[in-house]
Amino acid sequence: MFKAHRLTLAAVALGLSAFAAQAQDFAIENPECIAPANPGGGWDFTCRQVGKSLQDQGLLDQTVQVVNLAGGGGGVAFAEVVNKRGDDNDLIVAASSATATRLAQGAYPGNTMDQVRWLASIGADYGVIAVAADSEIDTLPALLDQIKSDPTSVSVAGGSAVGGWDHLKVLIAANAYGIEDVRSVKYIAFDGGGEAVTQLLAGSVQAFTGDISEAKGFVDSGDIKVIAVLAPERLDGEFSEMPTAKEQGIDAIGANWRGFYAPGGMSDAAYDTWVSKIADLYASDVWKEVMAANGLAPLDLQGAEFQEFVANSVQQIQDISREIGIIK
């Protein structure tokens, strides 16, 4: 659904020089990153991995404090930032397609994307559908056939709220497979992908819908098996053994961008500083290694370009949500 963008190095350099003039007067003193879910999911990964990498690269002198603020599919954190932390220059918040989805569907009551400032992306995370390692289900068609024949027999767990991005991914697959009423798919929401996988391993649910970065650790430990990656073609490296939905005859693609927003009242100098530091990190060899290790695809957008990208994402998700009956 979303195309990965890659800026040329020249464009990055031009953008950074523009930021540098304003950014040089601002020093980040107490960096904090809010992960709007419990530990173990994609937002938590985004905060912790970027925070650690910024410090390891010498882009920040201080440790980034990560605060987990779960609830409402990110709505609790969004409201906290808008209502109480609106001018905090040291604060960033992990965001993704899940955030755009909730905003697109009006699920953060009284809140819109324009109430915050969108900083930068750090990559795109392809969606996966997985089952427990000992499950008899080995393919996506097998799972969807079971849902077709008896929708009540399969519960699918995800780390976003009902109607959220994890939910939409499995609906996109069901829709592509010819399940006419995708609302018959039984989805159970948890606060983060880590909690959703825990329920899968406990046998409370039969499948998991999430992102590859969330699933990777559980694949490595032998707890789950990925039956479909929602990518146009197989990923590289250690992910190359995971089959795509497309090669199984199901034309379902779902790429979850990952990035950050900041309080709406953040000063221009602070905003430009954060944008510049995240851009520097993205361009580093260290971050390329992090992306490769976690199955992140290129998505290199900062400042105004990222703001425009998020606006387009919100519009796309509104369109598909109407198409499959999530919103009117």
pLDDT digits (tens, 9 = 90+) for 40-68: 889 999 999 999 999 999 999 999 999 99
Residue 17 has pLDDT above 70, yes or no: no
In this prediction, residue 327 carries a pLDDT of 87
Calpha distance 214→210 (Å, rounded)? 7
The structure's pTM equals 0.78
Give tens-digit pLDDT for 160-203.
Answer: 888 888 999 999 999 999 998 888 999 999 988 989 999 999 99
Residue 311 has pLDDT above 60, yes or no: yes
What number is the average pLDDT over the span 259-274?
Answer: 98
In this prediction, residue 16 carries a pLDDT of 45
Give me 124's structure tokens.
Answer: 């795109």
Helix axis angle for 268-283 and 303-323, nearest 10°, is 80
Kindly report the average pLDDT of the chain as a whole number.
90
Calpha distance 301→123 (Å, rounded)? 9
Q: Which domains does the chain have, with CATH numbers?
A: 9-125+255-323 (3.40.190.150), 126-248 (3.40.190.10)
H-helix or E-strand spanning residue 310: helix 303-323
- Reported confidence tier of residue 264, pLDDT bands at 50, 70, 90: very high
What number is the average pLDDT over the span 216-241?
Answer: 93
Calpha distance 40→201 (Å, rounded)? 15
Give me 40's structure tokens.
Answer: 């173990």
**How many CA atoms lie within 13 Å of 239's alpha carbon, on the beta-carbon side?**
26
Alpha carbon dihedral 134, 140, 141, 145, in 10-degree steps, equals: 60
**How many CA atoms lie within 13 Å of 122's alpha carbon, on the beta-carbon side?**
37
